[in-house]
Structures are given as C-alpha cells and as structure tokens.
C-alpha cells in the first residue's frame, strides 16, 4: 500500500431500506468490533455516511443520536463525531432497562447471576489484590462494622455497597467491575430487604461475621471457603424474608 492511499472501509457500503436506523447502528457497531473504527477515531460526516450507506441524513443523525445516548460516540463541536474513549456509565443503561422491563420472573436468575459474578470477582481479588487494595478494603470493612453497630439499615446498605465496590477494585478487572455494579443495582431492593430483615431479627453479629470472613478470604487467599461463603452467606439466606 502506498503512502497516502485511501483504504476502503468495509462498513462504508450501501445498506437496504429495512430498519435503516438500526442497520446504521449495527454497521457502526460492527466497525468498532472489527477495529475499523477505534476509540478516539473521528467518524465521516453525516453527508459522507449517508452517501456511503445510501440512506438519508436523518437516519444517520438518528443513529448517531442513539449511540451518543449509549455513551458509544461523542459529539465535539465543531470538530465532529468521535468514537468514545473508555467506559461510560451510560453504556450500562440499555442492559439495565432491558432487564428491568423483562416480563419473566427473574428473581432466581438475578440471585444466580449475583452468585456467579461475586465468585468471579472474589477469585480475581484473591489473585490480584495488592497491599494498598487490602488496606482500602479493611477501611471499608471497619466502616461497615461501625454502621452495623449503629443499626441504621440505610447507612449499612451504603457501607455494604462501598465494601463490595472495593472488592471489585481489588479484582483489577474494569469490565467485570462494571457488571458487578449493574448486578448490585438490579438487586438493590433485595439487598436492602436482607439488611433490614437481619437487623430486625437481631442478626447483626452474623452480618458482621459474613463480611469479616469475606475480607479474610481475600487477604489470606482462602479459595476453599470462597464459594461456600457466597452460597450460604447472608444474602442468600435472609433475602427471602419480607419486610
């Protein structure tokens, strides 16, 4: 290939008229998957995309608007439209709403998903946690234990979330961490009910012990106890109770 030669991109080809906006979205998405478009790349103009795809500019504009709302594209005026760099919380929203609006009974599925995600993060945290991670995690643990002693379920819930977020940080896997954050969001009502129930049942000691055991498993890399703790832990035993 000679210097300055323009390489034709496979995604810049005409598309048919069925679900035009979705096809534009799909075409741009696959271009990112196959690295024809990379983070930070500038997209062709609306006029250029419309000509390449053989569709109207309104369809291009609507597709770009949707991808911007997902956090996939950035519009920088007056420079143009660019592929986003890095992860945005907005990227979680479509999946979050899709699960929320699912008509099926997904409680058991959510519990299974949380168990799977928690165990994966726990394994990585045992493997990758550095001294600074353990220091930060122990700080969050002590804060959580203090809130449990205080007995305010809402404050305990926040401290519990911070503790689990710190475990995700110790796992050093940003993608899995974002999935864990999504799962915690989806199970927030169940987790809040669990904590409230345990306080009402005078199970504060069990709640504290579960988190202390979790910290010790990570600190001492005790893989044998990890899954048993998650399966038999407070979340899976007490969340079935009603308020």
Domain carrying residue 33: 20-86
Beta bridge partners of 83: 73
Domain count, the chain: 2
* Domain presence at residue 12: no
137 and 52 together in one domain? no
* Domain presence at residue 6: no
The percent helix, strand, coil of the chain (3-state, each to 5) is: 70, 5, 30
26 and 141 together in one domain? no
Query: CB-based contacts of 151: which residues, under 8 Å, 6+ apart?
Result: 199, 204
228 token code pair: 């048993």
In this model, does residue 176 exceed pLDDT 50? yes
77 and 105 together in one domain? no
In this model, does residue 69 exceed pLDDT 50? yes
CATH for 63:
1.10.10.10
Query: CB-based contacts of 34: which residues, under 8 Å, 6+ apart?
Result: 10
Distance CA 126, CA 103 (A): 37
106 and 189 together in one domain? yes
Distance CA 37, CA 171 (A): 29
Distance CA 191, CA 214 (A): 17
Query: What local confidence, expressed as pLDDT, does residue 27 receive?
Result: 92
* Confidence grade of residue 100 (pLDDT, cut at 50, 70, 90): low
Distance CA 50, CA 150 (A): 61
Judged by phi (left if over 0) then psi (alpha if -120 to 50, else beta), residue 237 lies in alpha
Q: What is the DSSP letter of 132?
A: H
Q: What is the mean pLDDT of residues 88-93?
A: 69
DSSP string, 69-94: HTTSEEEETTTEEEEPPS--GGGTHH
82 and 109 together in one domain? no
Q: Mean pLDDT lowest for which of 74-78, 131-135, 142-146?
A: 74-78
* Confidence grade of residue 232 (pLDDT, cut at 50, 70, 90): low
Judged by phi (left if over 0) then psi (alpha if -120 to 50, else beta), residue 241 lies in beta
Distance CA 114, CA 180 (A): 8
Distance CA 27, CA 121 (A): 33
78 preceded by a cis bond (ω within 30 of 0) = yes
Q: What is the DSSP letter of 12?
A: S
* Domain presence at residue 194: yes
Q: Exposed, middle or buried: residue 68 (CB in 10 Å: 0-12, 13-18, 19+)?
A: middle
* Domain presence at residue 134: yes
In this model, does residue 92 exceed pLDDT 50? yes
Mean pLDDT of the chain: 83
* Domain presence at residue 1: no
CB of 28 closer than 8 Å to CB of 82: no
In this model, does residue 185 exceed pLDDT 80? yes
Query: CB-based contacts of 165: which residues, under 8 Å, 6+ apart?
Result: 181, 184
Query: What local confidence, expressed as pLDDT, does residue 243 receive?
Result: 40
Q: Check residues 225 and 238 and name the one with the higher pLDDT.
A: 225
Which stretch of DSSP H or E encloses residue 130? Answer: none
Query: What local confidence, expressed as pLDDT, does residue 224 receive?
Result: 66
What predicted TM-score, i.e. pTM, was given to this entire model? 0.68
């Amino acid at each position: 290939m000679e210097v300055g030669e323009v390489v034709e991109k496979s995604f810049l080809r005409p598309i048919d008229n069925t679900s035009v906006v979705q096809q534009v979205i799909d075409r741009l998405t696959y271009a990112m998957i196959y690295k024809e478009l990379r983070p930070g790349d500038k997209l062709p103009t609306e006029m250029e995309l419309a000509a390449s795809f053989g569709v109207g500019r309104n369809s291009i504009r609507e597709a770009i608007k949707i991808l911007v709302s997902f956090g996939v594209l950035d519009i920088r005026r007056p420079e143009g439209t660019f592929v986003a760099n890095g992860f945005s919380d907005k990227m979680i929203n479509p999946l979050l709403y899709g699960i929320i609006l699912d008509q099926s009974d997904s409680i058991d599925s959510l519990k299974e998903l949380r168990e799977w995600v928690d165990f994966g993060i726990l394994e990585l945290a045992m493997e990758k946690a550095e001294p600074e991670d353990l220091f930060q995690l122990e700080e969050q643990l002590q804060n959580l234990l203090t809130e449990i002693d205080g007995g305010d379920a809402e404050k305990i819930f926040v401290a519990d979330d911070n503790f689990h977020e710190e475990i995700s940080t110790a796992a050093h896997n940003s993608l899995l961490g974002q999935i864990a954050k999504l799962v915690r969001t989806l199970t927030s009502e169940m987790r809040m009910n669990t904590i409230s129930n345990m306080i009402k049942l005078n199970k504060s000691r069990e709640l504290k012990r579960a988190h202390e055991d979790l910290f010790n498993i990570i600190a001492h890399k005790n893989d044998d106890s990890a899954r048993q703790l998650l399966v038999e832990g407070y979340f899976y035993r007490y969340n079935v109770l009603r308020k």
